[in-house]
Amino acid sequence: MTLTLADARSVIAAAEAKAAEIGQPMNIAVVDAGGNLVSHVRMDGAWIGSIDISINKAFTSRAFDIATKDLGENSQPNQQFYGIHASNHGRIMIFAGGIPLTRDGQVIGAIGVSGGSGEQDHAVAEAGANSV
Amino acid sequence: MTLTLADARSVIAAAEAKAAEIGQPMNIAVVDAGGNLVSHVRMDGAWIGSIDISINKAFTSRAFDIATKDLGENSQPNQQFYGIHASNHGRIMIFAGGIPLTRDGQVIGAIGVSGGSGEQDHAVAEAGANSV
Amino acid sequence: MTLTLADARSVIAAAEAKAAEIGQPMNIAVVDAGGNLVSHVRMDGAWIGSIDISINKAFTSRAFDIATKDLGENSQPNQQFYGIHASNHGRIMIFAGGIPLTRDGQVIGAIGVSGGSGEQDHAVAEAGANSV
Amino acid sequence: MTLTLADARSVIAAAEAKAAEIGQPMNIAVVDAGGNLVSHVRMDGAWIGSIDISINKAFTSRAFDIATKDLGENSQPNQQFYGIHASNHGRIMIFAGGIPLTRDGQVIGAIGVSGGSGEQDHAVAEAGANSV
């Protein structure tokens, strides 16, 4: 089971609405069950450095079936996964904004958001994830 | 002068319609005047190896303000740009599917398409480029 | 809105004068609104390891519209952006020396400086940024 | 023996004058005897894909003490250096535009130019090289 482009677009629309609501332009990316990009949008005025980060947050969330915020807690110095950000050719993001997408209890992909504070990124990703 | 997300979506919609018409699912990417990704979609069933290629074709077209098909002709063995595909950290694509996007005679970004034959990729990119 | 080569040269001249004043040879780079390099100089005697760093500091400052010094504070262990230095293919610098360049309240590019202490790099970048 | 920033600037000025004369905006880079970048300029309107290429042409010319045009002839399929463009992490450019800089018969650095046809790039690089 994976998601379609139509699914990805509807997830992005929900995230985009949340970003507009909080007034922070974002990069939003969705990957499928294989961790491969399905769609990405950069809202007008969103940081160009966040293009790569949004895509990588989505990849990371699906790669480990975990929110990047939670992975981050385990990846600080002296924690069990410290150093994981050096793996996977720089694609592992260990800060908030990536969340797995699930349907009927199964992970079918992930969303990654980047463009604001960690709290904002997570909130926008959550809006997308809840829309599935 | 650059393009907006709304512009990019309308370019992608035109390209997507063409891809549907010829029955070949595609990856379609649009970059802005700075060569930075604005939006990407992978149609259902399109190759995952073409995600990167579509984004890089769009980058290449803006990087040199040229269709990748034309750059490709100049980049064959014994031609003046042979070897250019080794530059820019592997981001230069020298086969058909990337076309600059222009408005009032000025390049404002580029579209990159990957998922079918070179001829198909170029035709889909052209449909997108003509819609600006 | 972006900057011209003449703008970049004038920013570099101001930064170079500051570097000469404090007696520390520097690498100085300026990128445009798209994050792409416009000009770079390495003053005689400046570190060769700082070529890449100066260019990347300029990129980072434009990529997130922030001084790299401030991004650095948010990117320490247990802070909200910890791990961001692994993104963007190693181009994100999280220590002092990068500052956005603004005109009429809009970011038009960025300067990146590397060759001394963090404090020196920031002071030289500031001299450049203030000259716009 | 190597070159100074003042040398590099004077080489760039000569190349820039030639580029202006032929009406083609260029990226121009100068490296020192160690192959490390001393200075780079992107003239207004020059291709962003040529930033990396100009720097790499200069590196390549110093790396092998040869004009990239001549290296290119030896690097075509079935020639003795075919495949060399895959070495040095993608920094080897095998088409016209890079020329060693010599003083008193000794190589002290190199110039790399990118932004036009191979012939134009070489002519602009030559103007720079002849000014030493």
What's the pLDDT tens digit per position in C88-127?
A: 999 999 999 999 999 999 999 999 999 999 999 999 999 9
Q: What is the pLDDT of residue D2?
A: 87
| Chain B CB within 8 Å of residue A132 CB | no
Q: Which residues of chain B, if any, have pLDDT below 50? A: none
What's the rounded Cα separation, in Å, for the pair B87 and D95? 11
Contacts of A49 in chain C (CB under 8 A): 35, 59-60, 62-64, 87-88, 92
Q: Which of A76, A86, A90 sits opposite C87 (nearest CB)?
A: A90
| Pick from C72, C78, C84, C85: nearest CA to A79 | C78
pLDDT of residue B36: 98
Cβ distance A62 to A46 under 8 Å? no
Q: Which residues contact A30 (CB under 8 A, 6 or more apart)?
A: A3, A7, A8, A11, A12, A37, A38, A39, A40, A58, A101, A109, A110, A111, A112, A128
* D33 and chain C in contact, CB less than 8 A: no
Decide if B84 and D95 are in contact by the 8 Å CB cutoff: yes
Average pLDDT of the residues in C75-89: 97
Q: Given a cut of 90, is residue C31 above it in pLDDT?
A: yes
CB of A45 within 8 Å of a chain C CB? The answer is no
CB of B1 within 8 Å of a chain A CB? The answer is no
Q: Please write the tens of the pLDDT for every residue from D92-127.
A: 999 999 999 999 999 999 999 999 999 999 999 999
Tokens representing C112 are 């990146």
Model confidence pLDDT, tens digit, residues C38-47: 999 999 999 9
CA distance A41 to B59: 16
What local confidence, expressed as pLDDT, does residue A1 receive?
84
> By three-state DSSP, how is residue B20 classified?
helix
CA A11/CA A72 separation, integer angstroms: 23
* A126: Cβ contacts below 8 Å, ≥ 6 apart: A18, A99
Rounded-to-integer distance, Cα A84 and Cα A35, Å = 17
Beta-carbon contacts of B30 under 8 Å, excluding residues fewer than 6 positions away, are B3, B7, B8, B11, B12, B37, B38, B39, B40, B58, B101, B109, B110, B111, B112, B128
Confidence grade of residue C59 (pLDDT, cut at 50, 70, 90) = very high
Of C34, C36, C40, the CB nearest to D37: C40
CA distance B36 to C62: 12
**Strand, helix or coil for residue B116:** coil
Which chains contact C through at least 3 pairs of Cβ atoms less than 8 Å apart? A, B, D
pLDDT(D71) > 90: yes
Contact flag B36-C32 (C-beta cutoff 8 Å): no
Q: What is the pLDDT of residue A68?
A: 98
Q: Please give the distance of CA C95 from its chain centroid, rounded to a whole number.
A: 10
Per-residue confidence at A27, pLDDT binned at 50, 70, 90?
Answer: very high
Q: Give the residue-averaged pLDDT of A98-107.
A: 97
Is the Cβ of D24 closer than 8 Å to some Cβ of chain B? Answer: no
Give the homologous superfamily in CATH for domain B5-130: Haem-degrading domain (3.30.450.150)
Average pLDDT estimate for C4-10: 98
Residue A2 has pLDDT above 90, yes or no: no
Residue-wise burial string across D98-127, b where 16 or more C-beta atoms lie within 10 A, e elsewhere = bbbbeeeeebbbbbbbbbbebebbbbbbbb
Q: What percent of chain C has pLDDT over 90?
A: 98
Distance CA C76, CA C88 (A): 18
Q: A9 pLDDT exceeds 90?
A: yes
Q: What is the mean pLDDT of chain D?
A: 97
